[in-house]
Amino acid sequence: MDLTDLHDFAIQARMAFIVGVETFDRVFAGIRFAEIDGSLLYVYARDEPTAAEIEDNYALHIAIVASQIVGREIDVVVVLPKVLQ
């Protein structure tokens, strides 16, 4: 299921609230919450180091927020660099 822009922006807004403005601007700039496949959420970050940081430090938060917004259980968040999009 491809996420709509509304889903994408809603997840971004909640994550900004959770992590704060400075962290959001540094880590989540250019992020795209793209699609759900079963219980997997695919996310695209601006580059590989940022993707790794998001997956390591924020995947659980993203899974909880996305589950609430889309109304489906998200168990795994896969963060890829936009180069692989």
Which CATH number belongs to the domain containing residue 42 in this structure? Answer: 3.30.300.180
Structure tokens at 28: 């989540």
Other C-beta atoms lying within 10 Å of the C-beta of residue 72: 13
**What sections of the chain are H helices per DSSP?**
5-19, 21-27, 48-70
pTM for the complete prediction?
0.92
Contacts of 37 (CB under 8 A, 6+ apart): 1
Parent domain of 54: 5-84
Task: Give the total number of structural domains in the chain.
Answer: 1
Output the tens digit of pLDDT for each of the chain's 85 residues.
999 999 999 999 999 999 999 999 999 999 999 999 999 999 999 999 999 999 999 999 999 999 999 999 999 999 999 875 5
